Amino acid sequence: MKRPTMKDVAEAAGVSLMTVSRVVSHTPGVSPDTVAKVEQAVRRLGYQRNVNARNLRQKRLGTSTIGLVVDDLANPFYALMARSIEDEAHRRGCVVLVGSTNDEPRREREVIAAFTARQVDGLIVVPTIGSHGFLRSAMEAGTPVVCVDRPAEDLDVDTVTVDNRDGARHAVTHLLGHGHTRIAYLGDRYDIWTQRERYAGYLDALSAHGLSADPALVRHGLRSHPEARSALADLRALADPPTALFSSNDLITLGVLDAMDDPDDPDDPDDPDDPDGPDGPDGPRAAARPLPMAIVGFDDLPLAKRLDPPLTVVSQDPVAVGSTAASLLFSRIAGDRSAPRKVILLTRLVERRSGERTAHRPERPAHRPELPAASS
């Protein structure tokens, strides 16, 4: 039976050959109705892009490319993961194209469309929220896809994640073990899979100790340093503030630490403008600045062990995550057609000092109810 060609697809869909090429390559600018007609024709005819022709083109050019799509390349975790993927690609003579989505589905589609238009050999994607069915046409055309850090919930492909829920559970259990029961949670957007998993781990640990989450201590949707700083200020202003805090990612942790080290903080006991304070002109610093609460962060930071006090963290290995994802992708590019693999890497709790602060509350005077006045 004759293998269907792009021309056959164009005739079946009632569009031009150029339009089919643009749809198959995910080039922006084609109307949704036209895309739907072409994709329907592709499925009905069983059309597949000629991968051998693409491979011959790459041999002539002397190189191949893969696309890496992440949330935010400025995030230290993704930066290290990307470097690991680049190292694996370099060993294979491959170039990596990288794009950030800021967790915006529309931007994700645009980045992926740009990469597939350049006929990348494969894609490694940190999925945003929402459906990823749009990737199926690229996969059917011979472009393998590996999801990393999070699964694409409606796409059955190779996926590399870490055990986020278990890591968060260990972190909060650690704080509970040091006597803390008022433990705050600072997290990113709840619609992000990793954040839901980490919050679930937080709840698991509390539940195992007979506790439930206090809504006043939970903050979701933090996407920047200022938002993390503001959330911490709100928590510290509570009538019954937390004695410990679990931060769900490294960027939030940095914002929290920055707020705690802010010399303009009116509650800061080490205000350098206070002449009687340890940093003031009349009070040479005699001891390290104490944190106002115990802290455990999810994700390690390059300088975490040099902070004062050193930061206790749930460490995931971005290098292992990246190299595992790259190995899976290159295996698929080489022709592996086995069932999709789900790889879950373990985390580990790194105890330094910030998470080992024992719970302590200043004693409050007992409330004495007023006695009714004696009747005369």
Identify the H or E element spanning 343.
strand 342-345
Q: Which of 174, 180, 146 is nearest to 296 (CA)?
A: 174
181 touches 365 (CB < 8 A): no
Which structure tokens are listed for 127? 């999925």
Judge contact between 236 and 292, C-beta under 8 A: yes
pLDDT at 287: 37
Secondary structure class of 327 (helix, strand, coil): helix
295 to each of 217, 242, 253, 315, how far by Cα in Å? 14, 11, 9, 14
Amino acid in the structure at residue 27:
T
pLDDT digits (tens, 9 = 90+) for 312-357: 999 999 999 999 999 999 999 988 999 999 999 999 999 998 988 8
CA-CA distance, 292 to 145, in Å (whole number)? 45
> Domains in the chain, start-ordered, CATH in brackets?
1-47 (1.10.260.40), 164-317 (3.40.50.2300)
pLDDT tens digits, 24-80: 766 666 888 888 898 898 888 888 765 555 555 454 444 689 999 999 998 889 999
Residue whose C-alpha is closest to residue 172's, from 90, 246, 113, 270: 246
In tens digits, the chain (376 residues) has pLDDT values of 567 888 888 899 998 876 887 787 666 668 888 888 988 988 888 887 655 555 554 544 446 899 999 999 988 899 999 999 999 999 999 999 999 999 999 999 999 999 988 889 999 999 999 999 889 888 888 899 999 999 998 899 999 999 999 999 999 999 999 999 999 999 999 999 999 999 999 999 999 999 999 999 999 999 888 999 999 999 999 999 999 999 999 889 988 988 887 655 544 444 444 444 444 433 333 334 456 899 999 998 878 888 878 899 999 999 999 999 999 999 999 889 999 999 999 999 999 989 888 887 544 434 444 444 444 3
CB-facing half-sphere around the CA of 347: CA atoms within 13 A = 25
- Give, for 233, the enclosing helix (H) or strand (E): helix 225-236
Residue 373: the pLDDT is 47
